[in-house]
Structure 1
Amino acid sequence: MNYMRLKGSLDQPSLDNRLSYNPEIIEFYLSATDMQRTDFIRTRIRELKARGVTVYLHHPSRYQHTFLDIMSTNIELRRFYHESTQQLVQICKEEGAKCVLHAHYVRSENTEVSRERTIALREEIAAILEYGREQIVWEDSTEGLFCYSNPYLIDDLIIPLSLPLNVDVSHTFIAFRGDNHKLREVLERTAPYAVYYHLVDSMGQVHDSLPLGEGLIDWQMVKPFVEGKDYIFEINLVGDHSDCTPMVESAKYFAALS
């Protein structure tokens, strides 16, 4: 294990940079435009699998400049959400990859948190699971219904659906305003369902996406929960995002933890 688990785009400079570190996992962050070139997505997966690299596809976050929400009242956004998810699930089934999916983002039109709304979200997610349960992992947001500060999320949605999860450690930390004790509780409760993690540091107040060691997350505490499972270092990059050095430095930091 070399701990090199990286995120990037489909673009060649981005991919070349990441492959220079001999990664074990690469997650491709996709755009709505990328969904118009699904054959190219397949080509990228095959290129990486030939090198022994595990591939995750991150579902597009926006369509027509608007953040996606599974419960959106906008018909076009809902259509794109479902159709693009179906496309990615089919690709993952045939090419041996997995897809990271958000139920919603922070800038959601559905901000009310209640048990009734959580159950309504559960029904929406259950419909998506019909496309392919084994191919999708569900990522949490920093607020809203699919956020671990929602007291109903685990008991009324995740457990009943036995939902495969991608736990974003920084999102959870931010959701509880920098509380490592609450973060540990979530890691413990989600452990039976989490198959994938996003590792990124934070000061716990905003979505700052810091390299490991530059924020307040207790990585010594986190490490036992994620070892033996898939994860990437999802650090904010500058410029054209082709240089993933902060992710590489985070991988070295994580590897050095005892």
Structure 2
Amino acid sequence: MEGIRLKCSLDEKQIADRLRYNPEILEIQLFAEDLNHPERLIQTTRQLKQKGIRVYLHHPMIYRGRFLDIISSDRWMREYYDWSCQTLAQICKQEDILCVVHPHYSESECSFFHDSRLRKKVRQRIEQILARGGEYFLWENTVKGIFSQQNPHFFTELIEPLNLPICMDISHAFIAHQGSNQKLQQTLEQAGPYAVYYHVVDSMGETHDSLPLGQGRIDWQMVKPYLQGREYIFEIGLADHRDCRAMIESAGYLKKIEERAINL
């Protein structure tokens, strides 16, 4: 089936499971320890590319048990953020691939989007990363805080002035908009010139639930045209990370929507 675009870690059994479905795209979720042995990541990337698979990386989410935050008051956290981004930028340049990066997650110092000083600080920190090889990064929106659609200045202060390439997580935007498909459509329209890549995943619009397509409240008939000709993966929550059938079923769901549109 066409449109098989999946996610996994560097775990060999996860990769073997994904390869059973001949994916077009594979996004590799990295963990902090993976960057201590970059040769394994490079070798895996090359093996996948030899199979004709387009590879994306995803920056580690957690360091020392805490979610990363680009403006963390913890010096070790900031230094790790910078070091890990620099390491990944070098790998991406060498292997000609891109990496998804979160400026922050929902519960962090970036959560307070009303504070203009913090918003300015986030922009300055992103500019620093961009100056150190950040052209290989796609910046992902989250569900709450400065780098989310909850922030009314998201586009005007960050995306547009920096001409920032983004990974648009559709469910994150839907949750930030409190389950409004109308506001989600407005965001997808506004993000169009900057969205290089998408995370396709359903949600009820209340919490970070990572549902298979069709099990949430997102209007995929509305969303589908925005994905046309774009790169994306199905980032579905899995009960067993070595069994990606929920992602495959979501690909089938999206395919049926496309076929239905053609037959109308």
TM-score, normalised relative to structure 1 = 0.97
Q: Is the 8 A contact 1:45 1:97 kept in 2?
A: no
Q: Is the 8 A contact 2:178 2:206 kept in 1?
A: yes
Which residue does the alignment assign to 2:57? 57
Letter in 2 for 1:31: F
Aligned-partner Cα distance in 1 for 2:52–2:174: 32
TM superposition shift of 1:112 = 1.5
Which residue does the alignment assign to 1:96? 96
TM superposition shift of 1:159 = 0.1
Aligned-partner Cα distance in 2 for 1:41–1:227: 30
Deviations 1:163-211 (A, max 9, x none): 0000000000000110000000000001000000000000000000000
TM superposition shift of 1:232 = 0.3
Q: Runs of at least 4 residues of structure 1 off by over 3 A?
A: none
Q: Is the 8 A contact 1:118 1:153 kept in 2?
A: no
Letter in 1 for 2:141: D
TM superposition shift of 1:109 = 2.6
Aligned-partner Cα distance in 2 for 1:88–1:227: 29
Aligned-partner Cα distance in 1 for 2:9–2:157: 35
- Structure 1 residues not aligned, in runs of 5+: none
TM superposition shift of 1:113 = 1.2
Letter in 1 for 2:182: H
Aligned-partner Cα distance in 2 for 1:147–1:15: 31
Which residue does the alignment assign to 1:200? 201
Q: Is the 8 A contact 1:30 1:59 kept in 2?
A: yes
- Cα RMSD (Å) of the superposition? 1.0
Letter in 2 for 1:183: L
Aligned-partner Cα distance in 2 for 1:243–1:119: 42
Q: Is the 8 A contact 2:14 2:243 kept in 1?
A: yes
Which residue does the alignment assign to 2:132? 131
TM superposition shift of 1:111 = 2.2
Aligned-partner Cα distance in 2 for 1:96–1:256: 33
Deviations 1:130-154 (A, max 9, x none): 1224310000110000001100110
- Structure 2 residues not aligned, in runs of 5+: none
Q: Is the 8 A contact 2:89 2:134 kept in 1?
A: no
Aligned-partner Cα distance in 1 for 2:255–2:235: 16
Task: State how many pairs are aligned.
Answer: 257
TM-score, normalised relative to structure 2 = 0.95
Which residue does the alignment assign to 1:30? 30
Which residue does the alignment assign to 1:216? 217
